[in-house]
Amino acid sequence: MASKVPKKRASSKTKASRRSTNKKALRQKAKRITQIQEKGWIRYTFYLLFLASIVSIFFAPYLYTMGIISLNTANADSSIGLSLFFPLVVFSYLMAKGKNLKQIIVDLGLSRSAMNWRALGYGIIVFLAIVLLEFGIGAFETVTHIPLPTNVKALLGGLPAYFFAFAVIVAPIDEEILFRGFLVPRIGIILSALIFGILHFLSYASVSEFIAAFVFGLIAGYVFKRTKSLYATIIPHVLVNVLGILALLL
C-alpha cells in the first residue's frame, strides 16, 4: 500500500501540470488571434487610405472642372494626394507581403534607434552639399551664359498656405519613404535618383530642378545606404524645401 501513494501524488502533479500547460496554450492562442486581428485592422486601414489617396489625386481636378474650387487649390490638393500616395503604396505593398508595421518601420530606417546624432550630422552635410550645388548651377549660368531657368515660382506662387506647410512638414517624409527607404534597397541608388529627378522635371518642366533632384537623390541614396537611417535624408530634404519656399516667398 505504501508504494502506491507516491504514484497518486505524481499523477496529481501531472494533471495540475497539464492543466497549467493547457491554460498557457489557450492564452497564447488568444494572444495570437488578437495580434492577427490587430494586424488585419491596420493592414486594411492602410489599404483604404491608399485607395483614398488615388481618388484624391483625380477628385480635385474634377472639383475644379465643376467650378467648385480654384485652379490653385486643385493643383495643391492633387499634389498633396500624390505625395500621400507615396508612403501609402509602400506600406500597403509591404503589408500585403506579410510584414507587420514594426518590421516595416525598421526596414525603412524609421525606428527610434535610427534617430541619432550620426543621422543628424549626415543630414546637415547633405543639405550643405545641395546648397553648394545651387551655387554651382548659378555660377555655371553666369560663366557659360546658358540659362537653366526654373518654373517653380510660376507654378507654386499662387498656391494656398496649407500647401507650403505640407511641403515642409509632410512631403519630405513621404518622398524619402518611397525613393530612399523603399526604392534604394530594391533598384539601387542611381535608378531611384533618376526616377526622383524625372518626377521633379515632370512637375516643374525645369532642367535645373531635374539636376538638383537627381544629385540630391544620389547623395541621399548613398547616405541612406551608409547610415540605414531615413532621418539622415529627411532632415536635409526638409531644409531644402524650407530654403526653396523662403526663396519663393521673399
Cell of 18: 497539464
Q: Is 90 exceeded by the pLDDT of residue 50? A: no
Give residue-wise pLDDT tens across range 165-223.
999 999 999 999 999 999 999 999 999 999 999 999 988 888 888 999 999 999 999 99
152-177: average pLDDT: 90
103-128: average pLDDT: 95
Q: Is 80 exceeded by the pLDDT of residue 19? A: no
Q: Is 50 exceeded by the pLDDT of residue 35? A: no
Q: Is 80 exceeded by the pLDDT of residue 250? A: no
pLDDT at 154: 75
3-state secondary structure of 188: coil
- When the pLDDT of each residue in the chain is averaged and rounded to a whole number, the result is 86
Q: Which amino acid is at 143?
A: V
64/69 Cα distance (integer angstroms): 5
Q: What percentage of the chain reaches a pLDDT higher than 90? A: 53
**Residues recorded for the chain:** 250
User: Which one has a higher pLDDT value, 202 or 6?
Assistant: 202
CA 82 to chain centre: 12
User: Which one has a higher pLDDT value, 41 or 127?
Assistant: 127
- Nearest CA-CA partner of 78 in 47, 57, 102: 57
193-199: Cβ within 8 A, 24+ apart? 193/217, 193/218, 193/220, 193/221
- Give the side-chain half-sphere CA count within 13 A for 212: 28
Which range (62-66, 107-111, 127-131, 246-250) has the least confidence?
246-250
Rounded to two decimals, the pTM is 0.82
Q: Is 80 exceeded by the pLDDT of residue 39? A: no
Cβ-based neighbours of 92, under 8 Å, separated by 6 or more = 43, 46, 47, 50
Give residue-wise pLDDT tens across range 211-249.
999 999 999 999 999 999 999 999 999 999 999 888 887
Q: Is 80 exceeded by the pLDDT of residue 163? A: yes
Q: Which amino acid is at 249?
A: L
* Buried/exposed code over 107-131 (b: 16+ C-beta within 10 A; e: otherwise): bbbbeeebbeeebeebbeebbeebe
Q: Is 90 exceeded by the pLDDT of residue 87? A: yes
Residue 44 pLDDT level (bands cut at 50, 70, 90): confident
